Structures are given as structure tokens and as C-alpha cells.
Amino acid sequence: MPAQTATLNSHQQSVLIPWALEAAGTFSVFLDGQDIDIQTITIVNDPSQRILRITGRNTVGQDTVREIDIEFADHTPAGTTFILEDTEFTSTRIWLSVKTATESYAVRGVNGTLSIQQISPQLIKVQGAAVARTDTDPNGQKHDLIINFDIRT
């Protein structure tokens, strides 16, 4: 017996495959004291996992890409401050990913805070700040991040 096919509506598609949407606004990052020029900002609202994921991307030259990912529950109340040391087994995360021609690694922000000042998951508008220190990268270094964001889709 052949399987029947059905066309999914846009809401069903977004639940099954949450799309990264181009975001507008500000996303400033200081990495180890240096201002990083974020060229693209995307945001994903994943209703099946109930999280918002913000990604800022920076490309240097032809072979270095740095991404900063911030992830937290989409039902986080405005005014919430997360202590990163206490979020190891939660949906709250900050990641720094570095990809070059010779190496690729990702390190998690394990010390510091993430503050959500304003949030509207229906319109996907979020404002916040983070100060984080990462775990050790493959070169034995820890990285300091200072992030401020006020973005919307």
C-alpha cells in the first residue's frame, strides 16, 4: 500500500525545521579585549526545543570564521540574569567557534553571566548582554567575551 503524502503548512514546517532568520540591530562583541566586527546576525526560534538561538558571524580574510552563539529558553522572562556556572545542564549556552584553514574548534562560555533585558519570541526581538570566559581551547587558551545585543527579525 503506497504511503500518502501531505503538504505541511508554514507553521508545521517551522516546528519541524526551524529556519535561521536574518536579524537586524546591534550585536557587538569584544573577544579578548578586541572589538570583533560581526557581519551577519541570525536568530532561530525552535518551538520544539523552546529555545532562541542567536548567532553572530565574523569572517577575517579568506580562511578564518568566528561565530558566537547564544542560546536560551524562549520563555525566559525579561530581566533574567543567568549565571553561566549554573547552566551546564540547561538550554542556556554561549559558544565561541573558530574555523581556520588548519584548525576548527568550539569552546563554551563557562564563567560569567547572560542577562536578558527584553524578549518577545512572537516577534523575535531580544535585548541582552553577556560577559563570559570560555573553557580551554585546543591551544590551551581561555577566551574572554563581552557581548551586547539588541536584535529583531
Q: CB of 153 within 8 A of CB of 37? A: no
**pLDDT tens per residue across all 153 residues of the chain:** 455 555 656 655 555 556 778 888 999 999 999 999 999 999 988 888 888 899 999 998 888 999 999 999 988 998 999 999 998 888 899 999 999 989 999 999 999 999 999 888 666 788 999 999 999 999 999 999 999 999 988
CA distance 6 to 3: 10
By three-state DSSP, how is residue 148 classified?
strand
Extract the runs of DSSP E, i.e. beta strands, from the chain: 21-22, 24-31, 34-36, 40-46, 51-60, 64-73, 80-83, 93-99, 104-120, 125-134, 144-152
Distance CA 51, CA 47 (A): 7
- Residues whose CB is less than 8 angstroms from the CB of residue 3 and which lie 6 or more positions away in sequence, other chains included: none
Contacts of 153 (CB under 8 A, 6+ apart): 21, 22, 23, 24, 43, 123, 124, 125
Res 4: pLDDT: 57
Give the residue among 151, 82, 83, 95 at the shortest CA–CA distance from 123.
Answer: 151
Give the fold, CATH level 3, of 18-152: Lipocalin (2.40.128)
C-alpha cell at 54: 542567536
Contact 146, 131 (CB under 8 A): yes
Which SS3 state, helix, strand or coil, does residue 12 take?
A: helix
